[in-house]
Structure 1
Amino acid sequence: MEEEARSFLGSFVEEFPAALEDGSPLPVSPLSRKVTLEELHGESLELGLRLLAARGAPAGLSALLCQAALSQLLQNDLSPFHCAQEAGHNQEEEQPVVLLQSDAVQRLFLTKLIEVTLAWHQDFPKHPPSRFLHCSVHAIKNTRRKMEDKHLALAEFNQLFGIQSGVDCAYYAVFDGHGGVDAATYAATHLHVALSKQETLQSDTATAFKSAFKHTDDMFRGKAKRERLRSGTTGVAVLIQGQQLSVAWLGDSQAILVREGQAITLMEPHKPDREDEKQRIEELGGCITFMGCWRVNGTYAVSRAIGDFDQKPYVSGDADCSTTQLLGDEDYVLLACDGFFDAVKPSEVPHLVLDALHQSVDPEGGGDATLEQSEDTVGLRVAQQLVSHAKAAGSSDNITVMLVFLRPLKQLLAQNSSTGTAQDAPQQ
């Protein structure tokens, strides 16, 4: 791994041998034109990871580089990047929000990133290896006019945030936007940052997750007001801390765990016709009506979401969270939006995954399945085949599927694809 990292650093410093020149175009575009100081954290990390990934950087190295560059950025005086306060702002009504010019401040961040890269190329620091989990993800627009799903796979959670707890953490999330992609993009950029800052992250992950969802919703409220945005997003996020798996969610995106070929329910999606959700909304003075599907006050087909501020509090921003101890015999956790689960039952997933695995390694079906190809290549095809199955089963929505494999694929291939049970598969 160190050899791969050194090789990347060498190629990167050839492309960026010095700081970016003033006035030169940025090599990657920021997400926003203006950001608050709090939003700068997530947007800078997203920008840096995107830049490095496009150049083939090892994921662990990317996280460490971005974390180091952001730490240096935040030590600078950022007041020169402040935007002028807009005319007509009534200071008596609310505290003015300090906004930064994204292009200018992100130029400084990228300069810090280049400086760190140059320094590490000369003197590469030692870093402990992190736990690696194979992740397979695939997303399609399908027949919809726009793609409003977003997702994030972050096996290097600790490295990205400089967390030294001694427990490896990995974060995965799928967001299903509606009314535009802004809320989904915002959640994919900021939720994990908010989670990393929760004091209870190690001691009470459920409380940390719920607070992070709520804080992200509050942050997006400010952006939506400033920029007149009206979108919303459901979301499901998984944090794996050692042998503990926590899943938090808003709305009808879902995650399921598969253990020895059997689907394990981790959560119950928030839908308007769910009895407790219906009661909550009606007690607030709202109503649930059927207009092709069950909707909150005749509008949104979800009862909880980030955004959708025109229907708060009926569409709640409060997430739920559940925690499961991993025993070592788990196969994988699957996260997906409703575009998948509306067409595929959770009980069908184990068979579909095993069939996809066997098809990936033995597409002709003429011999014993082997992993002659890399596990990365085989794993990536699994999500593609699940998405294709959901589309063929009638889904017309955006579809995103993410699988996080919790044990080697060769063990999963030892399972019988017709029964979904393990056959002499060695335990982890």
Structure 2
Amino acid sequence: MVCIGSLRALVLRAAAAAGGRCRWPRVLCGGRGAVDACVTPRASVRHGWRGLRAATGARMMLDSSSSSSDSAASDPSAAGQVQPQRRALAAVAHAHDGGAGGYASGGWAREDGKLKCGYSSFRGKRATMEDFYDVKLTEIDGQAVSLFGVFDGHGGSRAAEYLKENLFENLMKHPEFLTDTKLAISETYQKTDADFLESESNAFRDDGSTASTAVLVGGHLYVANVGDSRAVISKAGKAMALSEDHKPNRSDERKRIENAGGVVIWAGTWRVGGVLAMSRAFGNRLLKPFVVAEPEIQEEPVNGDLECLVLASDGLWDVVENEEAVSLAKTEDLPESAARKLTEIAYSRGSADNITCIVVQFHHDKTG
């Protein structure tokens, strides 16, 4: 058991590097999401968006990450036995100029019309952008695969950026990705966290990030969550949260933290060690093993009852209810329009955080 005095000394040393949802002054490091395969950035700025150019009507694998794995995707042997064979899946992409104010949005549709997705990401009232997102529509060994993720950084943008660049790439390389997707997600989350901590071992910072992801494999939707970003679906006309925010005052989370030798302290809100207002996150080395990156995973069948999915950072959920979010996501013709409206609503209601939202619509009646 770690005594409160020694833990307090530990977290005081973390204070200089901790931020976002932490109590002490934040280390201001800019961050941004980027679109690469079908949407190409013209220029970028550290704290926002300078502009995006769309390859409108382009039909190719959609990948919103800049990745060095493209050669491995075209040549599976280059990555060894664990690399599934990936090939392009037709999609249409478009995006809009983000402008200097830290705003960007875009959308894609599967060629068969059965799935449409859109995103909106806004720096909002924060001085820096620490939200990232990732969208991938592809095919692995003949199986259609779609991956969506929202990553909300705190104490800096590096952890969220690392997840955007690596989490889904690592997941698709997992040897059990198609056969035991839940296991693959759980192991990949924790391995990616360990890899990130190793990559930052010599850095004088200790930032972290949430991860709320949705993976469509065949007829199944897998939603995994670490932190307080959230995934909500509309199923048979009703809003249903597929993730529960990881807060230190959740009875099961508090018990886990205390069993590991940590403490949960009230400091304006409930915080791990008086520092971090969430109980699970990537990164945050100085709060391990109390703050973990083990995901909670929910599985849903993709059938006629599943209407839409909303993934968003807490900049949205702080001021928008689950029911309102999915209701708007269903009624808008384009998911991009829904995502844009949701970010605008959150901002107008006084959200003080970065706001990032991904909307996915399912159209089961399409015949291709």
Say whether the fold is shared (TM-score over 0.5): yes
Measured in 2, the distance between the counterparts of 1:350 and 1:62 equals: 24
Change (3 A) 1:273 1:427: farther
Change (3 A) 1:71 1:206: closer
Structure 2 residue 338 is the aligned partner of structure 1 residue 389: no
Aligned-pair CA distance for 1:51: 4.8
8 Å contact 1:329–1:427 — kept in the other structure?
A: no
Which shifted more, 328-337 or 175-184?
328-337
8 Å contact 1:49–1:66 — kept in the other structure?
A: no
What does residue range 23-422 of structure 1 map to in structure 2 within 5 Å? 51=40, 54=53, 56=55, 58=58, 60-61=60-61, 69-70=71-72, 133-156=115-138, 158=139, 163-164=140-141, 166-354=142-330, 357=332, 378-407=334-363
1:368-396 CA deviation, whole Å, 9 max, x = no partner?
xxxxxxx5xx3322111111112223311
Measured in 1, the distance between the counterparts of 2:234 and 2:113 equals: 20
Q: Which residue of structure 2 aligns with residue 372 of structure 1?
A: none
1:254-281 CA deviation, whole Å, 9 max, x = no partner?
1011023311231212111111001111
Change (3 A) 1:228 1:130: farther
Pairs aligned (count): 290
Calculate percent identity across the aligned residue pairs. Answer: 29
Question: Which fold has the larger relative contact order, with Cα–Cα distance below 8 Å and residues 6 or more apart in sequence?
Answer: 2
Letter matched to residue 179 of structure 1: G
8 Å contact 1:330–1:407 — kept in the other structure?
A: no
Change (3 A) 1:312 1:154: same
User: Does the residue aligned with 1:209 lie in a helix, a strand or coil?
Assistant: helix
Letter matched to residue 161 of structure 2: T
Aligned-pair CA distance for 1:229: 3.5
8 Å contact 1:339–1:399 — kept in the other structure?
A: yes
8 Å contact 1:266–1:322 — kept in the other structure?
A: yes
The TM-score normalised by the length of structure 2 is: 0.71
Measured in 2, the distance between the counterparts of 1:256 and 1:149 equals: 18
* Structure 1: gaps of 5 or more residues: 1-44, 77-128, 358-374, 412-425
Measured in 1, the distance between the counterparts of 2:40 and 2:114 equals: 22
Aligned-pair CA distance for 1:190: 0.4
Letter matched to residue 56 of structure 1: A
Which shifted more, 301-310 or 253-262?
253-262
User: Does the residue aligned with 1:226 lie in a helix, a strand or coil?
Assistant: coil
Letter matched to residue 69 of structure 1: S
Letter matched to residue 197 of structure 1: K
Aligned-pair CA distance for 1:330: 1.5
More helix as a share of residues: 1
1:39-91 CA deviation, whole Å, 9 max, x = no partner?
xxxxxx9876765984617362566x976534689999xxxxxxxxxxxxxxx
8 Å contact 2:310–2:329 — kept in the other structure?
A: no
Change (3 A) 1:290 1:132: same
Change (3 A) 1:294 1:173: same
More strand as a share of residues: 2
Letter matched to residue 319 of structure 1: P
Cα RMSD for the two superposed structures:
3.1
The TM-score normalised by the length of structure 1 is: 0.61
Aligned-pair CA distance for 1:324: 1.0
Letter matched to residue 142 of structure 1: G
Letter matched to residue 382 of structure 1: A
8 Å contact 2:124–2:354 — kept in the other structure?
A: yes
Change (3 A) 1:132 1:267: same
Aligned-pair CA distance for 1:131: 7.5
Measured in 2, the distance between the counterparts of 1:273 and 1:74 equals: 46
